[in-house]
Amino acid sequence: MYIASAAAATAAAVMISTTRDEWVVPPALLVGTAATIVALAASILFYVTWRMAPTVTHGWWAAAAIFGCVQWLAVPRAGVVDAEVLARPGWQTIANAVSALVVLGLVVAGTRATRAPEPLALGLVLGILVGLGRLATAGLAPLGLPPLTVDTLAAVITSVHVLVVVVVLRHPVPGGWTTPRVLTLLLMLGAANLAQTPVIHGPWVESGVAVAHLVGACLFIGVSFAMMRDVISLQERTTTDLNDRLEAAEAVGRDGKERLHEIRSTVAGISNASRLLHDGKVAATTRRRLDENMRMEMSRLERLLDNRQPTVPEPVDLDATIDPLLELHRARGRRIIWQPTGQVVRGRRDDIAEVINILLENAATHAADTESRIEVTRDDDDVAIRIADGGPGIPPEVRDGIFEWGVRGDTSAGQGIGLNVGRRLLSEQGGSLTLADPHEPGATVRSGTGATFVIKLPAARKGD
């Protein structure tokens, strides 16, 4: 932005230094008008930045910037030294002093006020009022102020601009890059306004004022662009941080719901086993299996409640894991076909039992009064456990996302958590849980109906 300001200043100086007769419109007037337009664009940009990230300070300062531009637009020769006006000092000098005091008041209000105004409305109103005052006094007779009064007004204008610089620089600004640009901007505008008083004379005063206004306007728009960039960057970082926190909170919530789901399922298994054990009609063999199942569920419940890390995968006898579960389900009147196979896998016994139990409970819920089947087969290094039911099957619209968190059919009374938990538990021990193609041979108990889920686990190797 400094390079752009220097280029603008050079172009303006060259334009003004040419013979005035070659121009239909005086070059200084063109440069001054361009500076006012650039400053107005910068003020609007500053206002938009404030709207994106409203603060009390920047709200008042945006009003000051808009005021400065609007009141100069009301003057036909805004920002340009008029030799006739300098020869008859009075109204213009007083107007400059009033303008400087208004800017100072708005800047100070930005550091003291507790509420921000509407910068656009306040800046427009004040700018129009002062601009109308300038127009109204343009045709009045000169005041004929004595030199001492003129010098005093010039000193007031200078002091006010110095105070504006001090107030702005004392207030914290975002980024160290802002300070030198704002300082240069205020000094250039202050020098330009001071040069419009009769205190300073010389052939280059008119050129200097126009160039100073243009450079100041370029710096102002550079500061406004930089502030907007910083605000956008800050909002992006804030949004990213909020998304990360939201995802972390959702993860914690999901973890809690998953743990609660596992605890409920485990407690239900313990409760069912305990109720059946207290039934005097249960055979001794069934009683032993139910007792083993209850001990296994109690061990799992202790781990869930203590939030202990899962055990490392180890050889698991599938027959010894499945048999107690089926005894419990059969004791509750469910029909399940299964034949022991002697297969041994690597995994965590209680997790494998939990996943199988989830699938059997789902089958009992969605395929009540139907027969389920469990088939265990080995394929090279993997063991597949296929659990099929004879129910209505999985609706096509939810098949692709059936394992996603919270996904369930319209008629399902579940929470859409069990299958997600089951897939996670198996993936943690190198296994998988999938939904078989309904048209795959042997996928369901009866052709065209039911659902078949496939558990795959690494087979135990010799020596494990």
Lowest mean pLDDT across 15-29, 91-105, 353-367: 15-29
Question: Is the model more confident about 265 or about 14?
Answer: 265
Asked if 380 and 456 touch (Cβ cutoff 8 Å), the reply is: no
Q: What is the pLDDT of residue 260?
A: 77
pLDDT attached to residue 75: 60
Q: How many CA atoms lie within 13 A of 445 on its CB side?
A: 19
**Listed ranges 95-99, 255-259, 288-292; the one with the highest mean pLDDT:** 95-99
Tens-digit pLDDT profile for residues 226-262: 888 888 888 889 888 988 888 888 777 777 777 777 7
Query: Is pLDDT of 379 > 80?
Result: yes
Residue 185 predicted with pLDDT over 60 = no
Q: Left (φ > 0), alpha (ψ -120 to 50) or beta: where does 393 sit?
A: left
How many Å apart are CA 270 and CA 306, to the nearest integer?
18
User: Cα 151–157–162 angle (5° rounding)?
Assistant: 125
Query: Which sign, positive or negative, has the C-alpha torsion 136, 139, 140, 145?
Result: positive
At residue 6, the pLDDT reads 46
Residue 441 predicted with pLDDT over 80: no
Pick the most confident of 99-108, 128-137, 259-268.
Answer: 99-108
Looking at every residue in the chain, the average pLDDT score rounds to: 75
Length of the chain as a residue count: 464
Residues 6+ apart with CB under 8 A from 274: 294
**With contact defined as beta carbons under 8 Å apart, do 437 and 443 qualify?**
yes
Q: Which two tokens stand for residue 150?
A: 């003129």
pLDDT of residue 58: 86
Q: Backbone dihedral region of 180: left (phi > 0), alpha (psi from -120 to 50 degrees) or beta?
A: alpha
For 9, the token pair is: 């200043």
pLDDT of res. 146: 77
pLDDT at 445: 44
Average pLDDT over residues 378-407: 84
pLDDT above 90 as % of the chain = 12
* pTM for the model: 0.52
Q: Which has more confidence, 318 or 21?
A: 318
What is the C-alpha separation between 130 and 106, in angstroms, rounded? 14
Confidence (pLDDT) at 14 = 45
CA distance 251 to 241: 15
Tell me how far the alpha carbon of residue 209 is from its chain's centroid: 45
Q: Backbone phi, then psi, for 148, in 5-degree steps?
A: -65, -40
Q: What pLDDT is recorded for position 3?
A: 46
- Greater confidence (8 vs 120) lies with 120
For residue 428, pLDDT over 50 is answered with yes
Amino acid (1-letter code) at residue 231: V
To the nearest 10°, the Cα dihedral for 38, 41, 43, 44?
180
Weakest mean pLDDT among 128-132, 394-398, 456-460: 394-398
User: Of 29, 7, 50, which is closest to residue 218 (Cα–Cα)?
Assistant: 7
pLDDT, residue 307, reads 65
pLDDT of residue 254: 73
